[in-house]
Amino acid sequence: MARDSKYDILFEPIDIGPKTLRNRFYQVPHCIGAGSDKPGFQAAHRSLKAEGGWGGINTEYCSIHPESDDIHRVSARLWDEGDVRNLRAMTDHIHKYGSLAGVEMWYGGAHAPCMESRCTPRGPSQYASEFETLTYCHEMDHDDIAAVQQFYVDAAYRARDAGFDIVYVYGAHSYLPLQFLSPYYNKRKDDYGGSIENRARFWVETLEKVKKAVGDDCAIATRFAVDTLYGEAGIEVERDGLRFVELADPFVDLWDVNVGDIAEWGEDAGPSRFYRQGHQIPWQKYIKTVSKKPVLGVGRFTDPEKMSEVIRAGHLDIIGAARPSISDPFLPTKIEQGRLDDLRVCIGCNVCISRWEIGGPPMICTQNATAGEEYRRGWHPEKFPKAGSDDTVLVVGAGPSGAECARVLLERGYTVHVVDKSDKVGGCVNDIATLPGLGEWGYHRDYRETQLNKLMKKSKDSQLALGADAMTADEALAYGAEKIVIATGSSWVADGTNPLTHEAIPGADAGQPDQATPEQIFSGAKKIGKRVLILSADAYFMAPSLAQRLREQGHEVTVAAGVELGRYMHFTLEAPNMHRMLHELGIEVISDVWASRIEKGRVELYNIWGDGYRREYRGPGKLPRSENKTHKWHEFDTLVLVTGRKSNDELYRELKARKDEWAQHDVKDVYVIGDAWAPKLIADATFEGHRLAREIEEDDAQHPKPYRREVAVWGAPHMPGGKVEIEYQE
């Protein structure tokens, strides 16, 4: 099928400075955990998107000098020839597909802690970062300004040598150029502070110098947060924002515009819980009223209809995307081929981002299990090795892990039967997607449901058996499959077992009419009382989401949290607005408490720091701290137990215990994946299903094959011609 002509506008080339972008699909700079130290990961992940049709593809933020060192987080670096060599792999591979490669030159100021380089970062004024802990910058004098501007110029030359077509001066997310521009940071009284013209001077001069240096060969881009969302205390788009665009426009070939800062950059990378597609347009749309240059912007654009609309409306020229390009690296190709039902739509969960926030493990994606696995495991999202045998496979459970496993097995040509008690593919996602703001998480189910139905049609002996009775071990053994995959998920515990005490809570029993698990709330079978107390020891979304849902349904909600409420949501950038939401809804949060016992209508809570801080040995049977006497009773009409999850692994364990019967039923192997193996993120459950499907021919397919590691190699110096021997100063 050919593309719909209404999307033609997305495929029109556009000139940016000395370069031409082949279409309007552009992967903006985003982190993946590769930097310049994992060049294979970097080259494979980025060039795969070039293969998938993205016209422009960038590195993540790329440090220009050791003074901008972000360790514990992973950035790319362009400090020296060693980095040039490593990033060259990325540009070479991107160029094979006719796409442009860009680099986002970054100097962080006080936000870069320099934990590896131990440098002192410079900034327009001296302040402590509101983002990074305990880092101050040194206020620049004019010599410093000239020196840092020269860092950009030198890095730009190295970028050109590394083969980059687009060179950024990165001033979004409150990094150095914006620190000069914004009165929130810039308190200077000289010609670099005060008026907008003065505050813009550093950035405009830097652009001019970089353009003069490499502008004949490279397009000069700048990423600009056009509104920092603090009102007059920062940048407002219609005031300083547009004035800056006027001042810098002559030296910019491409504007990459967004909103927000770094401390709350979820206002830019908006999670679907709070923001819809195109949520930044109300700010971004102003730039084209002033600039004569192409303007691009992000907004988790996943729908070609919306993409075409924002271009036709004159809001943007180019569709910027980070998360949608991770979720589906072949998004442009699928639009081009009219295969919209094959789009693997980003669900906006921000689990990709969480990995950068955690400090730089390889990025993962909930939707796309191959993200980050391109190089080290050789996984291509659209290509699958042919089935290695005629074995038929029974997959028990059509949740994230089982559905993904079945999808990939079918892609490989296996005959697959999927059975599930539910009448819908999706497992736990069917419940989760009903939580407030999480409707788009349903795309995870929708993609697999669509693909399974399509693939099943082509595989005549395969079958999707929904609404089936729970499968017994006898039935599974007699089913006639050579391989059995157990993907039966996990359940919230009914007895209060939790990660703090690793024990049940006395009196906790979801069988009681006034206590409930999340599943019981989803099923709607239990009457929920007026006063709800949610007891949470889960670090992700379940407790805050249920609190919001029950409050919005009219209940009075209190959350008692034994672990930080929504801890993981800091990493997914959902935490700030989650806390605002809880506050606005009047949901009371009691932190740092746990439950000692539960009786009808009341729970006894204690402060987890309530035992003595002095530790001493007091003999066997005696605690080394003084007794915790902070216990207090709290009343409820309904207690919701969000304390922990447990694998639904009974079927797997029975099948394993009956291994001696496998041969008589022609069963060769039995596997367990996803939450049934151990409860985990949806992303990881999806990954496990995918991995097993790709490795099912292995002798021990239950456990992953080793992947190709990229590490510093003893004997191979980072710098070309460098030394590796241990040498001390004398």
Partner 1 sequence: MKILVAIKLVAALDEDFEIREDGCDADPDYLDYQLNEWDDYSWEVALQLAEKFPDKIEAIPVTVGPERAEAGLRKCLAKGGERGIRVWDESLEGSDPMVIGHLLAAVAKREQATMVLAGTLASDHAYAQTGMCAAAELGWAHIAVVSRLDLDPEASEANVRRELEGGIEEELAIQLPAVMTIQLGINEPRYASLRGIKQAKAKPLETLTPSELGLSPQEVGEAGSLSQVRRMYIPEKGQAELIEGTPAEQATRLAEIIKELRGDA
Which residues form the interface with partner 1 (CB under 8 A)?
1, 392, 394, 415, 417, 419, 457, 460-461, 463, 465, 467-468, 478-481
Closest CB to partner 1 among residues 290, 468: 468
Which segments of 518-657 are extended strands (E)?
531-536, 556-561, 588-591, 593-599, 602-607, 632-635, 638-642, 645-647
Q: Which of 175, 286, 375, 414 is catalytic?
A: 175
Cβ(554)–Cβ(637) below 8 Å: no
Query: Residue ranges of the alpha helices (H) in 215-289?
Result: 242-248, 281-284
**Taking CA 401 as the corner, what is the angle to CA 398 and CA 402, rounded to the nearest 5 degrees?**
35
**Smallest Cα–Cα separation from 73: which of 84, 82, 83, 60?**
60
Closest CB to partner 1 among residues 478, 724: 478
Shortest Å distance, C-beta 339 to partner 1: 11
Q: What's the half-sphere exposure (Cβ side, CA atoms, 13 Å) at 265?
A: 21
Closest CB to partner 1 among residues 394, 701: 394
Provide CB contacts within 8 A for 632, sequence distance 6+.
Answer: 604, 605, 606
Cβ(226)–Cβ(286) below 8 Å: yes
Cβ(326)–Cβ(39) below 8 Å: no
Q: Are strands 515-516 and 669-672 parallel, antiparallel or unpaired?
A: unpaired
Closest CB to partner 1 among residues 27, 415: 415
- Whole-number Cα distances in Å, 450 to 210, 310, 342, 344, 407: 48, 28, 8, 10, 10
Closest CB to partner 1 among residues 258, 451: 451
Query: Residue ranges of the alpha helices (H) in 524-675?
Result: 542-552, 568-571, 575-584, 650-657
d(CA 121, CA 109): 5
Query: Residue ranges of the alpha helices (H) in 104-260?
Result: 142-161, 176-181, 196-214, 242-248
Shortest Å distance, C-beta 649 to partner 1: 23
Q: Give the phi and the psi of residue 155 in degrees, each rounded to 5.
A: -65, -35
Closest CB to partner 1 among residues 319, 481: 481
Closest CB to partner 1 among residues 94, 473: 473
Partners of 653 in the beta sheet?
none
Shortest Å distance, C-beta 346 to partner 1: 25
With H, G, I as helix, E, B as strand and everything else as coil, classify residue 672. Answer: strand
Closest CB to partner 1 among residues 281, 468: 468
Closest CB to partner 1 among residues 325, 415: 415
**Smallest Cα–Cα separation from 419: which of 480, 335, 502, 378?**
480
**Smallest Cα–Cα separation from 167: which of 209, 218, 116, 98?**
218
Cβ(55)–Cβ(10) below 8 Å: no
Shortest Å distance, C-beta 449 to partner 1: 17
The identity of residue 536, as a single letter, is: S
The identity of residue 358, as a single letter, is: I
Give, to the nearest 10 degrees, the angle between helix 196-214 and helix 142-161. Answer: 30
- Whole-number Cα distances in Å, 493 to 508, 514, 550, 644, 646: 10, 15, 20, 6, 6
Provide CB contacts within 8 A for 674, sequence distance 6+.
Answer: 397, 399, 400, 401, 402, 487, 489, 680, 685, 686, 688, 689
Provide CB contacts within 8 A for 291, sequence distance 6+.
Answer: 245, 249, 252, 255
Closest CB to partner 1 among residues 309, 431: 309
**Smallest Cα–Cα separation from 186: which of 150, 149, 146, 233?**
233
Which sign does the torsion angle of CA 441, 445, 448, 454 carry? Answer: negative
Shortest Å distance, C-beta 334 to partner 1: 15
Shortest Å distance, C-beta 145 to partner 1: 50
Cβ(448)–Cβ(425) below 8 Å: yes
- Whole-number Cα distances in Å, 39 to 74, 85, 712: 13, 9, 11
Partners of 380 in the beta sheet?
383
Closest CB to partner 1 among residues 261, 449: 449
**Smallest Cα–Cα separation from 132: which of 70, 50, 46?**
70
Long-range contacts formed by 608-614: CB under 8 A, 24+ apart: 608/500, 608/562
Shortest Å distance, C-beta 465 to partner 1: 4
Shortest Å distance, C-beta 434 to partner 1: 26
Shortest Å distance, C-beta 412 to partner 1: 17
The identity of residue 102, as a single letter, is: G
175 is catalytic: yes
Shortest Å distance, C-beta 295 to partner 1: 24
Shortest Å distance, C-beta 392 to partner 1: 5
Shortest Å distance, C-beta 461 to partner 1: 5
Query: What residues are annotated to the active site?
Result: 175
